[in-house]
Amino acid sequence: MDTVAVWLLGAIWGGVFLAMKLAVATLPPFTAALCRIGLAALFLLPLVLPRQAGRAQLWTHAPQLLIMGLLNNTIPQALMAWSLGRIDSGLAAILNATMPPFTVLLAWGLPPRTRPTVLQLGGIALGLGGVAVLVGPDALRGLGSVVWGQLAMVGVAFSYAAAAVYGRRLAGLSPLTASTGQLTGAALWLVPLALMTDHPWALHPSALSLAAVSAAALLGTALAYLLYFFILSRGGPTRLSLVTYVSPVFAVGWGWLVLDERLTWNAAGGLVLIAVAVLCVTGQAREAMAWLVRRINPTAKSSVEVG
């Protein structure tokens, strides 16, 4: 079930790339991020605050939720906005896909330690290669030319990984309460950034930008973080990190479907590599191989099954 949630969250966040691309046409980055996260928090708060248990959990875990919002939203949004002004989006997608290796290392090194299997490590390497193939080799040509912009994007991936591992501290909260608290905390961090850098009172956003950021808030943030904390509670930070591999697949697909962008051979190759990577990390590769052996030779007993 959590594997389905990984692909569903990837599909949603892949669509957010499109929505936010439309939003930032007339909204500066921090204001767009604040609108997206703040609207999502305002949507979820009425679902939590009427319940005494929900209010108590938000108050009790307020420090952890503020840290989670800082790691999972504010720091990545700030670094990404700065980085994308200096490097191409294709290279940014590849550098952002370093999140799963960071997540494995942090989950392995910090208590409660989670030791990865050889199959999981292979799947993570395969997924990183899949994103590189999906985006295309041309994106790598800029590697090393704008070092600080690239390091900022690696910082985005590291911050997301740290949030996924730190989020284990919220295991006692429901996905609804954890999502609401984290988004509220992130909005509180983003308010001064937006006020100081964007002067939002002087902006004149278009109706399309407002519609896009509203869709990103309700679907790509409120609903998405319910799935995020569901996956985190069921599968842990390593499985959650796979969304970083899946969302570029859907970003390419949504671009082809909505914007009539051209699909290339590397899109199909990257999808195959990423699909295999997800099977490896979620532990379903062994089951898939056993099923394939049974289909090829129903009378044979698969060494995969008994291994």
Across the chain, which distance is largest between two alpha carbons, in Å? 73
Q: How far apart are alpha carbons 132 and 182 in whole angstroms?
A: 31
CB 33 within 8 A of CB 190: yes
Res 301: pLDDT: 54
Please state the separation of Cα 153 from the chain's center in Å: 14
Res 307: pLDDT: 41
| The pair of three-digit structure tokens given for residue 279, joined into one six-digit string | 């099977």
**SS3 assignment for the chain:** CHHHHHHHHHHHHHHHHHHHHHHCCCCCHHHHHHHHHHHHHHHHHHHHCCCHHHHHHHHHCHHHHHHHHHHHHHHHHHHHHHHHCCCCHHHHHHHHCCHHHHHHHHHHHCCCCCCCCHHHHHHHHHHHHHHHHHHCHHHHHHCCCCHHHHHHHHHHHHHHHHHHHHHHHHCCCCHHHHHHHHHHHHHHHHHHHHHHHHCHHHCCCCHHHHHHHHHHHHHHHHHHHHHHHHHHHHHHHHHHHCHHHHHHHHHHHHHHHHHCCCCCHHHHHHHHHHHHHHHHHCCCHHHHHHHHHHHHCCCCCCHHHHC
Residue type, 230: F
What is the domain range of residue 158? Answer: 2-306
Res 141: pLDDT: 66
What is the sign of the dihedral through the CA atoms of 19, 242, 45 and 80? Answer: negative
| The pair of three-digit structure tokens given for residue 217, joined into one six-digit string | 């808030």
Res 112: pLDDT: 80
Mean pLDDT in each 10-residue stretch from start to end of the chain (307 residues)? Answer: 84 83 86 92 95 92 96 90 74 81 88 81 85 73 73 91 92 92 95 91 92 92 94 88 85 74 72 80 61 58 45
- In angstroms, the Cα distances linking 80 to 45, 111, 141, 275, 280 are 27, 29, 20, 26, 29
Q: How far apart are alpha carbons 38 and 46 in whole angstroms?
A: 13
Give backbone dihedrals phi and psi of 272, rounded to 5 degrees, phi first. -60, -45
Burial group, residue 261, by CB count within 10 angstroms (0-12, 13-18, 19+): middle
What is the sign of the dihedral through the CA atoms of 112, 113, 118 and 124? Answer: positive
Please state the separation of Cα 102 from the chain's center in Å: 14
Q: How many domains does the chain have?
A: 1
